[in-house]
Amino acid sequence: MTWVGKSALRKEGDSKLRGQAKYIDDISLSGMMHGITVRSPIARGLLKKIEYLPGVNWDEFITVTAKDIPGNNYVALIKKDQPYLVDEKINHPEEPILLLAHSNKHILEKARSLIKFHIESLPPVFTLEEAIKQDPIIWGTNNTFKSYAIDRGDVESAFKDAHILLEGTYETGAQEQLYIEPNGVIAIANEKEGVTIWGSMQCPYYVHKALVPLFNLPPEKIRVVQAETGGGFGGKEEYPSVISGHAALLSWKAKRPVKIIYDRMEDMVATTKRHPSKTRIKTAFDKNHKLIALDIDFTIDGGAYATLSSVVLSRGTLHASGPYFSSNIKIRSRALATNTPPHGAFRGFGAPQSLFAIEKHMEFCARELKLDPVKFRKLNFIKHGEILGCGQLVKEKIKLNSVVEKALIESDFHKKRKAFVKTNKNSPIKKGIGLAVFMHGAGFTGSGETFLASIAAVKATPEGKIEILTSNTEIGQGTNTIFSQMAADALNIDFSDIEVVQPDTAHVPNSGPTVASRTCMIVGKLVEQASKDLKQKLISAQLLKEKYTRKEFISACKKYIKEIGELKGSSQYKAPSHIVWDEQKYQGDAYGTYAWAAYVAETSTDTRTFETTVDKFWAVQEVGKVINPLLAKGQIIGGVAQGIGYALYEEVIWKEGRMANNKMSNYIMPTTLDVPEIEVHFLELPYSYGGGGSKGLGELPLDGPSPAILNAMEHALKITLRQIPMTPEKLMAQMEEINK
């Protein structure tokens, strides 16, 4: 029996259904204290003094400031700019200044209100426009964390020779990840035994890397264990390093276990969000409406510290030209500093921002040129043998036209476009239907996977079962299940014979982070190879023939362990020889492969209330081999729902650099009543270098909903929309401005 391609039940499903799965707030240790973070009330300034006001017995509390840090006061990630605790300089509201621990978590809240910070205020920067002005400069060179440049051909000459030039500017807002379970960790830390962390997280080895310099300890004295995790979406990629460090610092001083669990308000106001962006695009077309030049300026708001802004900027830059071909391309991008909490990873990281801009711009160009938006796109699609904007030659077959045609047929796109024009004339409810076409690079960018050199292993137990050893986490997306399916097929055994070991840096190899649509494709392939390595050891030991039954395999494992010892297979990532990336020129094979998609949204906009609803949605994608159809469909539906929120509802309201609507009652996200029927269709084109033939899937569905929805609204309203979230208030203001 083969397991890949079947909807096997979730490995962890039974324990979650029965309430047996242990999330971090379900865990309690003997003598455990509770910890909290006391944060800056202002956006920028110099800390002069901390005052402890009367009202509690301060002798009962453990207090930690920057002066108590035993090692280095920075969060180790890419740059070393973000402190665990403010020493003197404050750079954003809610920046951690002081840590408190007490046995009674309710008393902690009273103590928090009795801390007074004496701060000398400095002028802050809150917007991209202010950061660009460079007055004041709050970080580095010209408030710039990172910049990239791509140049191909001669853009300026192409502009001079163009039949028509079209230009537009597009904006996207911040978005809160809003995972079900807020951030939380438990720490045990002391000089003798080192530091152990249990937490809700995506990347145990990121936390491990961060804690080594914080405590100035050897790596073997740091242990990080992932607890059951209630969602991440990138929000638990780098931020758990911060909360883990805080809990560990309190435990180090208290000499007792310390738990820190954020409530929803703190989690929303203090942690990272999707980077806001602004993109200017200028395009040149010849008389046949072919794209001959593309000039893009892509800017993102990094917040107060660098975190992962360079990585987000990189992916956004490399996706900025979308699935279109031009011989002349110029892309300039930058991540700027502002005095808001740092922005960080969020599902798609960078691609949803830049792909929104290019898809909105292509829709705008089609309308200005009075062309059918589908035919116009097809005319300019990248083809096999052509070069993407990042300089990558498309060597694989592309089913992009087939993907688009499937979306058009399933949605009855052309018929509805004509019908809605007629029915909208005498109705205040304006119906529209819109298309977005896009791609998403799977895995780390360029030489990123080579740099990680990820390792995966499989191990046989004395009972003849197989354990999968990776640091990739199950956060709801199905890691445990798909790994088990691929290993079961590679070993020719049953799905039930496989277990996935809990990610624990003391016991599993570093297979890289659970990010970037890499888990199934990259690490899944390593799991397959490790499984084959284990099988070959049995064959080499003459305990197993090339063809065997499940029973014979189990028997061979038992005998090997009894007579020879540990039975383990492993595999380390090596880049395929055809992948070539030039880091200096920032061009080449940016990704091993791409997933391709076409999304269609059908919308209704009430011109009396300016409310828009998505009535139906069609998502068609080519993602290689679909490992588990049910889980894959769930990924797409969940991503589209998140994309609907990004397009229409989820607006972060900033006030003096702080998120003012940090409650689920005033941060509006789509409910079940706002999410329509979502039809999901897959076209398969297996990728030989991906686990089970897979490509990346998890981030793709965030790229397409926003442009498809706004394109549908434009079709209905006959206006140009260039900003998300397009809330009723924003739509009303725009329509009133047009009607003046």
Please check whether residue 44 lies inside any domain of the structure.
yes
Q: Are residues 332 and 481 in the same domain?
A: no
Q: Are residues 255 and 295 in the same domain?
A: no
Check pLDDT > 90 for residue 323: yes
Place of tokens 């005095």: 339
Of 512, 541, 572, the residue at which a domain comes to its end is 572
Check pLDDT > 90 for residue 141: no
Please check whether residue 533 lies inside any domain of the structure.
yes
Give tens-digit pLDDT for 673-710: 999 999 999 999 999 999 999 999 999 999 999 999 99
Q: Tell me how far apart the alpha carbons of residues 504 and 470 are, in angstroms, rounded to a whole number.
A: 9
**Per-residue model confidence (pLDDT) at position 1:** 66
Of 251, 270, 289, the residue at which a domain comes to its end is 270
Q: Are residues 383 and 299 in the same domain?
A: yes
Of 572, 595, 624, the residue at which a domain comes to its end is 572
- The answer to whether 362 and 324 are in contact (CB under 8 A) is yes
Planar angle of CA 674, 675, 680, nearest 5 degrees: 165
Q: Are residues 75 and 205 in the same domain?
A: yes
What value does the mean pLDDT of the chain take? 97
The percentage of the chain sitting over the pLDDT mark of 90, rounded to a whole number, equals: 99
Please check whether residue 493 lies inside any domain of the structure.
yes
Q: Tell me how far apart the alpha carbons of residues 72 and 666 are, in angstroms, rounded to a whole number.
A: 38
Q: Are residues 497 and 441 in the same domain?
A: no
Q: Tell me how far apart the alpha carbons of residues 193 and 196 are, in angstroms, rounded to a whole number.
A: 9
Please check whether residue 41 lies inside any domain of the structure.
yes
Check pLDDT > 90 for residue 28: yes
| Single-letter code of the amino acid located at 282 | K
Kindly state the average pLDDT of the residues 122-126. Answer: 98
Omega of the bond leading into 725 within 30 degrees of 0 (cis): yes
3-state class (DSSP) for residue 98: strand
Place of tokens 């638990």: 236
Residues 6+ apart with CB under 8 A from 644: 614, 617, 670, 674, 675, 705, 709
**Per-residue model confidence (pLDDT) at position 42:** 98
Confidence of residue 740 (pLDDT cuts 50, 70, 90): confident
Give tens-digit pLDDT for 430-447: 999 999 999 999 999 999
Give tens-digit pLDDT for 355-377: 999 999 999 999 999 999 999 99
Please check whether residue 603 lies inside any domain of the structure.
yes
Please check whether residue 261 lies inside any domain of the structure.
yes
**Per-residue model confidence (pLDDT) at position 532:** 98
Q: Are residues 223 and 113 in the same domain?
A: yes
Please check whether residue 1 lies inside any domain of the structure.
no
Q: Tell me how far apart the alpha carbons of residues 159 and 153 are, in angstroms, rounded to a whole number.
A: 12
Please check whether residue 138 lies inside any domain of the structure.
no
**Per-residue model confidence (pLDDT) at position 50:** 98
Q: Are residues 377 and 473 in the same domain?
A: no
Q: Are residues 644 and 500 in the same domain?
A: no
Omega of the bond leading into 629 within 30 degrees of 0 (cis): no
Q: Are residues 492 and 367 in the same domain?
A: no
How far, rounded to the nearest angstrom, does the alpha carbon of residue 592 sit from its chain's CA centroid?
A: 18
Cα torsion for 383, 386, 389, 393, to the nearest 10°? Answer: 110
Give tens-digit pLDDT for 534-586: 999 999 999 999 999 999 999 999 999 999 999 999 999 999 998 999 998 89
Transcribe 642-686 into DSSP letters: HHHIIIII--PPEETTEES--STTTS----TTT--EEEEEEE---
Query: What are the percentages of helix, strand and coil residues in the chain, rounded to 5?
Result: 30, 25, 40
Of 729, 725, 723, 543, residue with least CA distance to 648: 725
Q: Tell me how far apart the alpha carbons of residues 442 and 99 are, in angstroms, rounded to a whole number.
A: 39
Q: Are residues 550 and 656 in the same domain?
A: no
Q: Tell me how far apart the alpha carbons of residues 201 and 207 are, in angstroms, rounded to a whole number.
A: 9
Planar angle of CA 721, 725, 731, nearest 5 degrees: 50
- Specify the CATH number for the domain of residue 602: 3.30.365.10
Give tens-digit pLDDT for 479-518: 999 999 999 999 999 999 999 999 999 999 999 999 999 9
Check pLDDT > 90 for residue 247: yes
Give tens-digit pLDDT for 612-623: 999 999 999 999
Domain total of the chain: 3
Q: Tell me how far apart the alpha carbons of residues 102 and 727 are, in angstroms, rounded to a whole number.
A: 43
Q: Are residues 88 and 234 in the same domain?
A: yes
Is pTM beyond 0.95 here?
yes
The percentage of the chain sitting over the pLDDT mark of 70, rounded to a whole number, equals: 100
Q: Are residues 440 and 453 in the same domain?
A: no
Q: Tell me how far apart the alpha carbons of residues 415 and 375 are, in angstroms, rounded to a whole number.
A: 15
Check pLDDT > 90 for residue 665: yes
For 283, 306, 404, the CA distances from 289, given in Å and listed in that order, are 11, 41, 20
List beta partners, residue 47. 119
Domain membership of residue 207 as a residue range = 31-122+177-270
